Amino acid sequence: MLARGELEQCAAQIDEPVAMGSGRASASWQARLISFGLRHTFKPLLAAAAKASQIRALMACPTGFMVPMDVRISEATVGGVSGEWVEPTWESTNHFLLYIHGGGFVACSARTHRAISSGFAQQGFRVFVPNYRLAPEHAFPAALIDVIAAYNGLRATAGEGCKIVIAGDSAGGGLVLAALLALRDANQQLPGAAALFCPFLDLSDEGGSRRTNEKSCALLTRESLARFARLYLGNADPGMPLASPIRANLERLPPLHIQVAADEMLLDDSTGLANRARKAGLQVELLIWQGVPHAFPLFHHLVPEGRRSVAAAGRFLRLAATGHWMGQTSMHSEQRMIAAARPRCYHPDWPQWRRQLCGKRSVRSPRL
C-alpha cells in the first residue's frame, strides 16, 4: 500500500481525458527545445522527401540513444518475421510485449525504436519488435500480415500462463489496431491490452486537426501524411477498415491506452478512437500531452514527458492484461515508475565524473 495513498485520480472516462499540462508553458524545456528543432529542421525535410529512400535516410538519423546497461538486445525471428528481442537483464518475466514501430509504413525498424522498447524492458516486459515489410515495395496488407504472424509466433513462444500485450506508435499504432480487428474477426485469442502512441488511424481524412494543427505540429504536414498513405496503400481503398481502422466496429477489443500530443495533426485520430471505443463499451484511457512533438515517446531518453508516457503505458498494460485496471492511476506510483523507466545509459555529453558515478550504482528497477 502506498504511504501517501492515492494522490490524484486520472480520468478513465474519455469524456474527461487526462490533459498532461495546461499549455505550452507547462511543457518541459527539453520538450519545447525538441519540438522547436524538429519543426525547423526535420519537418521541412520530411515534407520535401518524395521517395521512400529519402524518407528512410531521414528517419534513420540517430537520436543519441544508448542502450541501458540493464537491457539486452538480441536478433531473432518470431512467427517467420525477423526482429529484435529487447529484454531486462535483472529478472525473468512472463509479461510479453509485441511492439510495432512507426515510420509512415515506409521507414524505421526495430533498431530506430530502441528508446521505446528499452523503456518497456526496464519495466519488466520482454519486448519483441518485428521488422515488418515496408511500403512501397510491400504495399498493404503486407505489413499487417507480418504483424499478425509475429503475434501468433509470440503466443507460441510465450506459452500458457504468460501475458501478451501489444503497443505501437504512429503508423505502428494503426497497424496495432488493424491487427486487433483482424484477430477478432478471425476468432483468435486477443492480446490482454493495447497501447497506442500518436496513432495514424485514418488514411483518407484531411480535415479537423490535420488542418488546424498543421502549423503547430512539429513533425508532419498534410503532404507528408498523404504521401505515406499513397505509398502504403498502392491501389487499395483508404476507407477499408483494416487500412483506416478508426472506421471499423470496435466491439470486443481489449482495453486501450491512447496517448497523443495536443499540437499534432493526428490529434483527432486519437480522440476519435477514444470516443468510438467508449461507445463500443471498451475500457479506454486517453492522455493528451501539451507541448510535445508527434511520437514523443521516441525521445523518452531526452524529455521527461517521454519517460512519463512510457511509464504510464507500461502500468496500464500490466494492470489491464491481468484485469486489475480500475480506471484510475496513482500519481505516486507513477513517479515510482518514472524512476524505473529512466534509462541507465550514459549520454556522451555527460561529464566523465557523472558517467563514473552512475556506473558504480547498482539499482534494480522495482517490480511493478
Q: Is the pLDDT of residue 199 over 50?
A: yes
d(CA 284, CA 254): 9
Q: Is the pLDDT of residue 268 over 60?
A: yes
Task: Pull the grid cell for residue 348.
Answer: 556522451
User: Tell me, what DSSP letter sits at residue 39?
Assistant: I
107 band by pLDDT with thresholds 50, 70 and 90: very high
Angle ∠(279,175,85) on CA atoms, nearest 5: 125
18 band by pLDDT with thresholds 50, 70 and 90: low
Dihedral sign of CA atoms 76, 80, 82, 84 in order? negative
Query: Nearest-CA neighbor of 152 among 140, 135, 164?
Result: 164
| Per-residue pLDDT, 23 | 45
**pTM score, two decimals?**
0.84
Q: Is the pLDDT of residue 366 over 60?
A: no
14 band by pLDDT with thresholds 50, 70 and 90: very low
| Per-residue pLDDT, 204 | 87
Tell me the domain boundaries of the chain.
18-344
| Per-residue pLDDT, 170 | 98
DSSP assignment of 228-257: HHHHHHTTS-TTSTTTSGGGS--TTPPPEE
The whole-number average pLDDT for the span 143-172 is: 95
Q: Is the pLDDT of residue 124 over 50?
A: yes
What are the residue numbers of the active site?
Answer: 170, 264, 294
| Per-residue pLDDT, 15 | 38
Amino acid at 322: T
Question: Looking at domain 18-344, which of 3.40.190.10, 3.40.50.300, 3.90.1150.10, 3.40.50.1820 is its CATH number?
Answer: 3.40.50.1820
227 band by pLDDT with thresholds 50, 70 and 90: very high
| Per-residue pLDDT, 4 | 31
pLDDT in tens, 276-285: 999 999 999 9
